[in-house]
Structure 1
Amino acid sequence: MTTQPISADHVTGLVLAGGQGSRMGADKAVLELSGETLAARAQRYLATRTGQVWLSANQTQQGHLFAHVLADDPVYGGHAGPLAGVATALAVLTTPWLLTLPVDIPWLPNDLHVRLAEAVWSTPAKVAYARTKDRDHPLCMLVHQSLAASLHHYLLGGDRKVLLWLHAQQAVPVTFTDDEALFANLNTPEDLAWARCRLGE
Structure 2
Amino acid sequence: MRPPLGVILAGGQATRMGGGDKALLELGDGTLLDQVIDRLEPQVTGLALNANGDPDRLARFGLPVLADSLEGFLGPLAGVLAGLDWAAEEGAEAVVTVAADTPFFPRDLVQRLTAAAAGQKVPLVLAATPDGRHPTFGLWPVTLRDDLRASLNAGLRKVVQWTDAHDGREALFDGADDPFFNVNTPEDLEKARKIFEGRV
Same fold (TM over 0.5): yes
Matched pairs, number? 192
Aligned ranges 1:33-182 → 2 under 5 Å: 33-60=27-54, 61-73=57-69, 76-93=70-87, 94=90, 95-182=92-179
SS at match of 1:92: helix
Structure 1, 89-98 or 150-159: larger mean CA deviation: 89-98
Q: Residue 55 of structure 1 contacts residue 66 of structure 1 at CA under 8 Å; is this kept in 2?
A: no
Stretches of structure 2 lacking an aligned partner (at least 5 in a row): none
CA RMSD of aligned residues (A): 1.6
The amino acid that maps onto 1:89 is G
Work out the CA distance in 2 between the residues paired with 1:108 and 1:184. 8
The amino acid that maps onto 1:13 is G
Q: Residue 129 of structure 1 contacts residue 171 of structure 1 at CA under 8 Å; is this kept in 2?
A: yes
1:13 paired residue number: 6
User: 1:125 Cα deviation (Å)?
Assistant: 4.0
Choose the corresponding residue for 1:23, options 8, 13, 16.
Answer: 16
Structure 1, 116-125 or 49-58: larger mean CA deviation: 116-125
Q: Deviations over 1:100-134 (max 9, x none)?
A: 00101111122211111011123334200110001
The amino acid that maps onto 1:68 is P
SS at match of 2:15: coil
Higher helix share: 2
Q: Residue 54 of structure 1 contacts residue 66 of structure 1 at CA under 8 Å; is this kept in 2?
A: no
Report % sequence identity: 35
List 4+ stretches of structure 1 deviating above 4 A: none
User: 1:85 Cα deviation (Å)?
Assistant: 1.1
1:3 paired residue number: none
